[in-house]
Amino acid sequence: MTKQPWYQQTTDELFAKMDTQEQGLSEATVKQRRTKYGENRLAAKRQTTVLEKFAAQFKDFMIIVLIVAAIIAGATGEVVDAVIILAVVILNAIFGVFQESKAENAINSLREMSAPVAHVERNGQITTIKSDELVPGDVVHLEAGDIVPADIRLVTANAMKVEEAALTGESVPVNKTSMALEESDLPLGDRSNMVYMTSNITTGRGSGVVVATGMQTEVGQIAGMINQTEEVKTPLQANLTQLGKWLTALILGIAALVFVIGMLRGEESLVNMLLTAISLAVAAIPEGLPAIVTITLALGTQRMAKKNALIRKLPAVETLGSTDVIASDKTGTLTQNKMTVEQLYENGQLIDARKAQIDLSDPLAMAMILNNDSKFSESGLAGDPTETALIQYFLDQDDAVASAISSNKRVAEIPFDSERKLMSTFNEDQDGAVIQYVKGAPDQLLQRVDRMLVDGDVREITTADKQQILATNHSLATQALRVLAFAYQPVDQLPVEPNSQDDEQHLIFIGLIAMIDPERPEVAQAVTEAHQAGIRPIMITGDHRDTATAIAKRLGILSADSMASQVITGAELDQLSDSEFDKQVTQYSVYARVAPEHKVRIVNAWQKRGKVVAMTGDGVNDAPALKAADIGVGMGITGTEVSKGASDMVLADDNFSTIVVAVEEGRKVFANIQKALQYLLSANIGEVLTLFIMTLLGWQILAPVQILWINLVTDTFPAIALGLEPAEPNIMKQKPRGRSSNFFSGGVFGNVIYQGILEGLITLGVYALAIAYPVHASGQLAHADALTMAFATLGLIQLFHAFNSKSIHESIFKVGLFKNRVLNWAILTAFLLLAVTIIVPGFNTVFHLTELALAQWAMVFGAGILMIVIVEIVKFIQRRFEN
């Protein structure tokens, strides 16, 4: 039998079910229940120690490869290589520990949001206790300003409004009632007789029975979801792991083959061939890749921080670039989370409030500012967002609002009541005249008016007038506008005890005000740019279906003629099985009235289709989905600490368009990493091929120290500088790479192979020419010269190839040959370090090299230029075939 929800139970059923009464629980009962249910606090996931976090960083396969490479480098006497590799590994580990420690603050922040104290009825006495001492069945009293300490079913509610945006996504405080609700399967935002832990009482007061504490509360279940959600491995991390395994197996195989062939020839000693094989393995493994990736990502985070996108986890930079879907919360993310007056209906006409102005002498204006509980403070207006919006409308017009309020003192009132949906104030002007102003729901107010104000004259209101007003109200409501109706009447004698039945009758209708939490002005353009970039923006909100649909159409998430089938509510989503939803997920662009578990389900459904999902949000209810998404994007201003802690990136300006900027940066980062990878691997293939063919042909081979020096000076500086290449012009016109792509996508794998082979063949060609046409007659010296020329060519050709790598497909002359100044200096520095080993006496002896003649240098430089020419020709052919 299905358990009846608390919101459906009557007060008597509630007290009976919770075994409590209006006077509260006895101390003995409280003690028993605390033993059974525990403290009213959120449980934190066991936090690992700093040492455990540090050790966990070394489980990555690529890191293990690097450590092995460092050991091998140290064993061959290359201490500098070993130190550099280990330094990179340790720095990566320290940074990982720092980021993981910050992420663990999510649950702690959630716990800190809980109310510190609660006003509870115990043994018939109201007492104040710590909120963590509450137990199910306690009777709690609530009033404006309180943080709700547990999940509570209200038994009394007097003009109570509760701000639940962080939990439900509702953009304005919601009215609360104590009446039992008949509907079933109501989402959190529609359970008007329930209040939930961490929400805030904005106005009114009430009392209720605690029905859930601690981890059993709604926010507790969210905390549990955060704890249980597994970390998603980013595309970058997956690619690096896959690449590391593939390269290691391949390189070790080639090194072993070179060793065996060398030994079979019988011309090299066992020690020398072993050192050669090990040096080849160290040279071939791109140990600089993790450092280059880290540095490129770090530079990307700096650039993004200047544009208000704060990265909490480095891989998030690249993940943004592969994003297929951006699932965005509505309130505070796509909208301003601030109610704004948008339309006015007065004198039978609907006008745009943003373009028209009404004077304070207008009765509608006076009703808006006098029938209002907003307060002025040093930090601005305080009060219900709906009411502050009415005041702000006139403040934006520089009207003397404060003076008008002080000149029309409130002398009596009939407070708002959620059942009659009206509020009245009685205001006395400086001449002693009293006017009653009434505001509320249009359908309720129209039942109490018999006249209306038109162009300054009062006349009887007709049935046709009322039908027109109701039709206007309906039209505005379908546009997701919140509509209030206003009326007034002069009062000859102030009632002693004003009441609705006697005093809210025979009113004069003034007009309607339509408000909305408007979209951020820059978001529509950001949505358009996302569409152009092949990214699917979808809206996920706790707000009502009509509101969500209207905002989505205004932003371009839904087209003006979109089908209603593109919008789905949480209740409708519950009717779909996981398999059904997984098949239909691409159909929906707007999700309304959803719960936290729905958000995670939506994210997971897209991920099952191989899509990389970014989820934006600012509330507690967004935290599980933020953590489950490939990249969680929190809001820096309006976001809760919980949502920030669960995010990979935080928007310092809460600006949705910043996400698009971040996506562009992420795409640029990935493209630059691809360029660096193409450069590194093609260079390494060139080295491996050169050594392999030399060994196979029985030629004198490059010494281990020569191989490692080339690897050191040519790999590091140019590859890092390639990470600073500016974004190519069409980068935001391309489709997202998606999860299935990798570093070798887009023709990179083919480029690496042919360019590596080309480097090796050109180097071997220079060696063969040097042997065939020696400058010196001596055979031994000729071979030494040839080996030096092969060494210089292999190093210099890689530096020239760095210019080729500025773009995967475009001509270097189009992207700018010398545009990247850092790359220019990196290539020059690497060349000088290479040349020193040949030119400077003493150094060439250490590296077993000879001084080269001018003609020999000309041949080396010619080989480097030939590399650029051939690659440019191949790029030209590739572009022609693509077109």
The helix (H) or strand (E) run that includes residue 772 is helix 748-772
As given in the structure block, the two tokens for residue 722 are 């390639």
Nearest CA among 171, 131, 169 for reference residue 152: 131
Residue type for position 404: A
Nearest CA among 527, 28, 76, 488 for reference residue 280: 76
The whole-angstrom separation of Cα 654 and Cα 554 is 19
The whole-angstrom separation of Cα 214 and Cα 765 is 75
Q: How far is CA 269 from CA 262, 265, 688, in A?
A: 9, 10, 20
Is 303 within 8 Å of 687 (Cβ atoms)? no
As given in the structure block, the two tokens for residue 313 are 């986890």
Residues 6+ apart with CB under 8 A from 352: 342, 343, 344
The whole-angstrom separation of Cα 634 and Cα 646 is 8
- Angle at which helix 704-722 crosses helix 79-103, to 10 degrees, equals 40
Per-residue b or e along 748-783, where b marks 16 or more CB atoms closer than 10 Å to that residue's CB:
beebbeebbebbbebbbebbeebbeebbeeeeeebb
Angle at 517 between CA 514 and CA 519, to 5 degrees: 120
Is 323 within 8 Å of 666 (Cβ atoms)? yes
As given in the structure block, the two tokens for residue 767 are 């060696």
Residue 377, SS3?
strand
Residue 662, SS3?
helix
Question: Regarding beta strands 613-617 and 631-635, do their DSSP bridges make them parallel or antiparallel, or are they unpaired?
Answer: parallel
Per-residue b or e along 66-91, where b marks 16 or more CB atoms closer than 10 Å to that residue's CB:
bebbbebbbebebeebbebbbebbee
Question: Regarding beta strands 536-540 and 590-592, do their DSSP bridges make them parallel or antiparallel, or are they unpaired?
Answer: parallel
Question: Regarding beta strands 449-454 and 200-212, do their DSSP bridges make them parallel or antiparallel, or are they unpaired?
Answer: unpaired
Residues 6+ apart with CB under 8 A from 508: 449, 451, 452, 453, 458, 487, 488, 489
CB atoms within 10 A of CB 444: 15
List the catalytic residues.
329
* Side-chain half-sphere exposure of 644, counting CA atoms within 13 A: 17
Residues 6+ apart with CB under 8 A from 551: 330, 334, 335, 480, 519, 539
Residue type for position 29: T
